Amino acid sequence: MRKFIVAGNWKMNTTVPEGVELAKAVLEKAKDIPANVELIVAPPFTHLVSVADALKGSRIAVSAQNCADEEKGAFTGEVSADMLVSAGCSYTILGHSERRQYYGETDAKLVKKVRLALSRNLKVILCVGENLKEREAGKHFDVVRAQIENVLFNFSAEELKSIVIAYEPVWAIGTGKTATAEQAEEIHRCIRSIIEEKFGPAAADDMTILYGGSCKPSNAKELFACPDIDGGLIGGAALKADDFIGIALSF
């Protein structure tokens, strides 16, 4: 069964006390969200233990924003999949465009990261998406296909059940420019068909595909009404409990 998900990527925002407050505010307002919508928050690493503690036993899952591509050892500054699990995470975001753009995240690295995360029972939100130049050159379908083939095609249909795809056009992230529902739906439909080609119709039908890029309460309804859009990965609007919940109420 395909899951509907609204996930908040807090990026490098909030102090630990502010993050705990935000998590509590989201929890407080979450009671009206339909039970079939999964809520996830992804605070910075430093907040994970405190936020997971504040949300313990609740319907809100905790995600990291990244995870190391090595198990453990001399990798200064890295945070491993085991550490994330022990901190209370059940998800990790991987391959966010900001990591690809600023920190040299490659598809090859992502394969290692996804493999490690899954081996520790961490579910993965795998981000894909084209930049403005690629969109303007009409290459967006090819770029997204390559990202999916390079990473996801290394896994089995069984492993795919623990992976969620987030399509995030880079030109729409944090810019206030949202893809139109038509632009988003055509790529989501294409992603689902790529999954179907490789893994079959059941895997494609079960795959949760999120949209990300300046999603807010005012545009979420139209996006989520599309048949292949199963929720959102939310950046800026996830920093305000009312906006995040407003988006989750848009199904």
Residues recognised as catalytic: 96, 168
Nearest approach, Cβ of 210 to ligand PEP (angstroms)? Answer: 9
Contact between 201 and ligand PEP by CB under 6 A: the answer reads: no
Contact between 95 and ligand PEP by CB under 6 A: the answer reads: no
Site track 9-28 with ligand PEP (rule: CB under 6 A), x = hit: x-------------------
Residue closest to 167 by CA, chosen among 121, 208, 136: 208
For ligand PEP, the closer of residues 45 and 154 by Cβ is 45
> What's the chain's Rg over C-alpha atoms?
17
Binding ligand PEP (rule: CB under 6 A), the pick from 60, 148, 233, 245 is 233
CB 10 within 8 A of CB 62: no
CB 47 within 8 A of CB 22: no
Nearest approach, Cβ of 212 to ligand PEP (angstroms)? Answer: 3
Q: Which of residues 131-190 bind ligand PEP (CB under 6 A)?
A: 168, 173-174
Contact between 236 and ligand PEP by CB under 6 A: the answer reads: yes
Nearest approach, Cβ of 114 to ligand PEP (angstroms)? Answer: 18
Nearest residue to ligand PEP on Cβ basis: 235
For ligand PEP, the closer of residues 79 and 95 by Cβ is 95
Binding ligand PEP (rule: CB under 6 A), the pick from 5, 118, 163, 215 is 215
Nearest approach, Cβ of 196 to ligand PEP (angstroms)? Answer: 25
Give the separation between CA 140 and CA 133, rounded to whole angstroms.
9
- CA 16 vs CA 9, 24, 54, 56, 99: distances in Å: 15, 12, 12, 16, 22
Of the listed pieces 50-58, 73-81, 191-199, 207-215, which binds ligand PEP according to CB under 6 A?
207-215
Give the separation between CA 202 and CA 103, rounded to whole angstroms.
35
Dig out the tokens for 179 from the structure: 């893809």
- One-character DSSP codes across 81-113: HHHHHHTT-SEEEE--HHHHHHS---HHHHHHH
Binding ligand PEP (rule: CB under 6 A), the pick from 152, 213, 219, 247 is 213
For ligand PEP, the closer of residues 204 and 239 by Cβ is 239
Give the separation between CA 185 and CA 76, rounded to whole angstroms.
41
Nearest approach, Cβ of 173 to ligand PEP (angstroms)? Answer: 4
For ligand PEP, the closer of residues 63 and 80 by Cβ is 63
Q: Which residues bind ligand PEP (CB under 6 A)?
A: 9, 168, 173-174, 212-215, 233-237
